[in-house]
A = this chain, B = another copy of it.
Amino acid sequence: MQEHKITACIVPGTDPHASEYMAPHWTEMSWITGFLGETGTAVITLDQALLWTDSRYYLQAEAELQGTTVELMRESDVDCPSITEWLVAHLSPASAPRVAVNAEMYSVNGYRALKAELEEGGLSLVSIDLISPLWTEGRPAIPTSLLYEYSETYAGESVESKLARVRQAMKDKRCEALVVSALDEIGWLLNIRGKDVDYTPCLISYVVVEIDKCTLFVAPNKLDDAAHAYLERIGVCVEDYDQVFAYLQQLQVGSIMYDGGKVNEALYEAINEQVKRVNVSPSPVLKMQSIKNDVELEGERIAMRKDAVALTRFFYWLETEALQTPQTEITLAKKLGELRAMGANYTDDSFCTIAGWKGNGAIVHYHAEADACADIVGDGVLLLDSGGQYLDGTTDITRTVWVGDEALITDAVKRDYTAVLKGHIALANARFPKGTRGNQLDVLARQFLWSEGMTYGHGTGHGVGHFMGCHEGPQNIRTDNNTNPLQLGNICSDEPGLYRANEYGIRIENLIAVREAKNLGAHATGETFYEFETLTICYYDTRMIDMRRMTAQEIAWINTYHEWVYAEVAPHLTEKEAAWLKEKCKAL
């Protein structure tokens, strides 16, 4: 730092591709602090080291930072300064302090926001990679999974067609090039997949699309003969991963499009200065990718059936056999994983299963560890949030069930479960005009909670990828501002919840797809209306419903859903399992 006249250095827990699941190669924050949690940002000054992380990670960070000089900054606490505030307060402006970051780890928009904040406080921001020269020994390599073709049978659209649409979007913005760094967008655009990180079948790479050329930047060791043949067949040029910077430097075009929310600042800075850089966020690729075609939607339905069988078998096992031997949150998650893996075309889970027993269910991003997880003993509420990656599609489902003697279900549990369920149904039932945004519909899921002064601190729905990220934009159903309307073919989760600290957590989640609403009736006013198709196929635990709080319409909705669930799932079950499911699905 002194060599470079740097006063402070920020090391975020991010990678150059704005990924949700990061390869160990990029865990610079963990390397420098010793903190292994997924979310955190390190700040190093000439005489101090600090780590900002949120309340989910306080205990882990305290343990892992023990004996180091790294100070823990508890960023969920109201009196905790932001990193910028801390830097402005602690670095003397007299010394014209320079703050360094590795520009590869910041999106263009994130870098610009940080720069503006620092400059308002009298600090300057410079791009220097201070970590790479130091972290040579023991640094994990960039993953080397192989690129494979994702068949058009599953993708439903040829690369040729996708590239043609993207090029039209470029022309619409008068751009002759587009740089793509988000791994899910690259996978969608070129119908390729890999296994470079857990849970998301992506492949570390960059893409530059030009009007008559498309170049994939990928490490040569990720390409076997089949991959080379495939890329040649779809007319995509290949360059080494790191060459993207040099390529952008020499690129001679009038204008290049980039998504400032995803593309990293280093890529941006690499672009030839003569080229006009047009920030379009979300990128046209993500917009297209979020609109599932008929083949993808049908694949999603197929994946859902397999998921439904696994979950039903799991809950049958849990209620009839499991507790004859000791079980923990981890053994339950393992069993569910085994059942899910029996589904055809299963490749992985889509995220780490959350099995939250009693009070652990109230920790929204709970992550059980083998050496620190709850035993499933006694009677109580189990929250189970899980999902699978199948070649056909990606699933994500949460059910909350009562384990043990149902006579012990409390009125409080029933009240909370019913309020969550009513919101879940209200959102699933929504009809709305074309152009409506998810944040306009979010209240439908929250209204019954809000009316009693209750709420939950997470979004109601996130977009879901197709054999890709379990979280995908640009659409969502949240309270936050989001200008992207819900589009035909979007898939979202519908997952209201309610959390009672140290007691239990309740969350109920289906995936729903946007489709056109038909049969609006003779009184419709003529606008195009959309509605949701429920994709997830799994019974709700009706023992926790307070029937007095349910309307006739809500009861009818559940009964219809349960009829469908039984019809879809029963043919794939044993006789005993089917009889058990029939009872679970009986009309209310």
Q: Would you mind naming 22 contact pairs between A and B with Cβ atoms under 8 Å apart?
A: A412-B523, A416-B523, A429-B451, A430-B443, A431-B450, A432-B443, A437-B481, A439-B439, A440-B443, A443-B444, A452-B520, A452-B524, A453-B517, A453-B520, A453-B521, A453-B527, A453-B529, A454-B523, A454-B524, A455-B525, A455-B527, A481-B481
Q: Does A483 contact B (CB under 8 A)?
A: yes
Contact A523 B443 (CB under 8 A): no
Q: Residue A451 contacts which of B431, B442, B452, B483 (CB distance < 8 angstroms)?
A: B431
Q: Does A415 contact B (CB under 8 A)?
A: yes
Contact A447 B444 (CB under 8 A): yes
Q: Does A569 contact B (CB under 8 A)?
A: no
In the bound assembly, the distance between CA atoms of A437 and B440 in angstroms comes to 10
Q: Mark A191-202, 1 if CB is under 8 A from B, else 0.
A: 000000000000
A84 to chain B, nearest CB (A): 16
Q: Does A140 contact B (CB under 8 A)?
A: no
Q: Does A127 contact B (CB under 8 A)?
A: no
In the bound assembly, the distance between CA atoms of A498 and B527 in angstroms comes to 13
Contact B524 A453 (CB under 8 A): yes
A366 to chain B, nearest CB (A): 18
Q: Mark A137-159, 1 if CB is under 8 A from B, else 0.
A: 00000000000000000000000
Residues A523 and B483 in contact in the complex (CB < 8 Å), given A443-B432, A443-B443: no
Q: Residue A483 contacts which of B437, B442, B455, B481 (CB distance < 8 angstroms)?
A: B481
Contact B453 A431 (CB under 8 A): yes
Q: Does A61 contact B (CB under 8 A)?
A: no
A502 to chain B, nearest CB (A): 14
Enumerate A477-517 residues with CB–CB distance to B below 8 Å. Answer: 479, 481, 483, 498-499, 517
Most chain B CB within a 10 A radius of its CB, from A433, A450, A520, A521: A450
Name A551's closest neighbour in chain B (CB-CB). Answer: B551
Contact A525 B453 (CB under 8 A): yes
Q: Does A45 contact B (CB under 8 A)?
A: no
Contact B450 A529 (CB under 8 A): yes
Q: Does A436 contact B (CB under 8 A)?
A: yes
Name A435's closest neighbour in chain B (CB-CB). Answer: B479
Contact B453 A430 (CB under 8 A): no
In the bound assembly, the distance between CA atoms of A456 and B412 in angstroms comes to 40
Query: Which residues in B have their C-beta under 8 angstroms from that of A433?
Result: 450, 455
Q: Does A441 contact B (CB under 8 A)?
A: yes
Most chain B CB within a 10 A radius of its CB, from A439, A440, A517, A551: A440
Query: Which residues in B have their C-beta under 8 angstroms from that of A521?
Result: 452-453
A520 to chain B, nearest CB (A): 3
Contact A432 B450 (CB under 8 A): yes
Query: Which residues in B have their C-beta under 8 angstroms from that of A451?
Result: 429, 431
The 9 closest A-B pairs by CB, nearest first: A453-B520, A453-B524, A454-B525, A431-B450, A453-B529, A431-B451, A440-B443, A432-B450, A433-B455
Name A529's closest neighbour in chain B (CB-CB). Answer: B453
A238 to chain B, nearest CB (A): 36
A122 to chain B, nearest CB (A): 12
In the bound assembly, the distance between CA atoms of A179 and B433 in angstroms comes to 41
Enumerate A541-563 residues with CB–CB distance to B below 8 Å. Answer: 551
Enumerate A449-469 residues with CB–CB distance to B below 8 Å. Answer: 450-456
A32 to chain B, nearest CB (A): 35
A528 to chain B, nearest CB (A): 9
In the bound assembly, the distance between CA atoms of A521 and B452 in angstroms comes to 7
Query: Which residues in B have their C-beta under 8 angstroms from that of A483?
Result: 481
Query: Which residues in B have their C-beta under 8 angstroms from that of A442?
Result: 440
Name A442's closest neighbour in chain B (CB-CB). Answer: B440
In the bound assembly, the distance between CA atoms of A437 and B439 in angstroms comes to 10
Enumerate A185-240 residues with CB–CB distance to B below 8 Å. Answer: none
A282 to chain B, nearest CB (A): 16
A170 to chain B, nearest CB (A): 16
Query: Which residues in B have their C-beta under 8 angstroms from that of A453?
Result: 431, 517, 520-521, 523-525, 527, 529
Q: Mark A411-435, 1 if CB is under 8 A from B, else 0.
A: 0100110000000000001111101
Query: Which residues in B have their C-beta under 8 angstroms from that of A431?
Result: 450-451, 453
Query: Which residues in B have their C-beta under 8 angstroms from that of A439?
Result: 439-440
Query: Which residues in B have their C-beta under 8 angstroms from that of A527?
Result: 453, 455
Query: Which residues in B have their C-beta under 8 angstroms from that of A450?
Result: 430-433, 529
Query: Which residues in B have their C-beta under 8 angstroms from that of A444?
Result: 443, 447
Query: Which residues in B have their C-beta under 8 angstroms from that of A454?
Result: 523-525
In the bound assembly, the distance between CA atoms of A430 and B444 in angstroms comes to 11
Name A439's closest neighbour in chain B (CB-CB). Answer: B440
In the bound assembly, the distance between CA atoms of A444 and B452 in angstroms comes to 16
Query: Which residues in B have their C-beta under 8 angstroms from that of A551?
Result: 551
